Amino acid sequence: MDLGLAGKVALVSGGASNIGRAISMVLAGEGAHVAILDRDVMQAEKTAGEIAAAGGKASVHGVDVTEIAAVDAAVAEVEAAHGAPDVLVNNVGWNGDARFFLDLEPERWEKAYRLNLFPTFALTRAVLGRMRDRRAGSIVSIASDAAFGEHRVADYGAMKAGVATFMRSIAKEYGRFGVRANTVAPGLVIPDEADIGEGSLWQQQVGFGPKEIQYMEASIPLKRRPEALDIAWTVAFLASERARMLTGQIVSVSGGFNMPR
């Protein structure tokens, strides 16, 4: 099915590695020009090269999305070179080692906020006025199944729930301007080593052993973990006009582990 994304300009934060990489490649495969916003420029260049080799279009913009000025400058740079953004995918995120709530120090909460919730605010702020003025645009933010409440990830889950609530507010406020805002909540996606760069936040994640993975898969109704492409296909659909009546929604891509109402 043609998603109608050909010729669109799509910004993908954290678009170099893992889920972001898959999103960048799928959107480019649908004909969009993908602007990869990532602090890991080397991995972003690699992803952009793979997109180009497949006949797609991508540009790399090294940016720290926790800095408002840097975000504003990157969005202006993309617009000057390729046109105003039609699609924004807020994909940056980080989760530390699992801890009970009382073991989470204030610094951990601050880091969780700066890397999970703040970048979504910053990028949405940078593109939303442009979308409002053009009376068209789609924002898709990546949350997590932790947003529905999971043990030992209170900080991460709270920030990702904030992402989903923020998107619903944007959907209600700016729908009259033709702007849609939705959230995708992935289950745990474990990347291949080739899918992440040395500067990726995934390098700071705690690994999962065979026993943890087996236990997790047993708890999923479909009995398998989602892959990055599963998330990317969902994002591409929500970003497209084929989903023109979907806004303010949160879609769990977890094999049925969570079934939000």
- Cα 83 to chain centroid, rounded: 21
Sign of CA dihedral 34, 192, 3, 89: negative
**Annotated catalytic residue: which of 113, 156, 174, 215?**
156
| pLDDT for position 259 | 78
Predicted pLDDT of residue 198: 62
Residue 215 region by backbone torsions, left for phi larger than 0, else alpha for psi between -120 and 50, else beta = alpha
pLDDT at 261: 73
9-253 maps to which CATH number? 3.40.50.720
Contacts of 151 (CB under 8 A, 6+ apart): 100
List, in order, residues 6 or more apart from 9 with CB less than 8 Å away: 32, 33, 35, 78, 82, 83, 84, 85, 86, 87
The model's pTM: 0.92
- The pLDDT assigned to 209 comes to 65
User: Which phi and psi angles does 257 have, rounded to 5°?
Assistant: -60, -40
Residue 174 annotated as catalytic: no
CA distance 189 to 133: 36
What pLDDT sits at residue 200? 58
Q: What is the pLDDT along the chain (261 residues), one digit of tens a residue?
A: 799 999 999 999 999 999 999 999 999 999 999 999 999 999 999 999 999 999 999 999 999 999 999 999 999 999 999 999 999 999 999 988 889 889 999 999 999 999 999 999 999 999 999 999 999 999 999 999 987 888 888 999 999 999 999 999 999 999 999 999 999 999 888 776 556 666 555 555 555 566 666 767 767 778 778 899 999 999 999 999 999 999 999 999 977 677 777
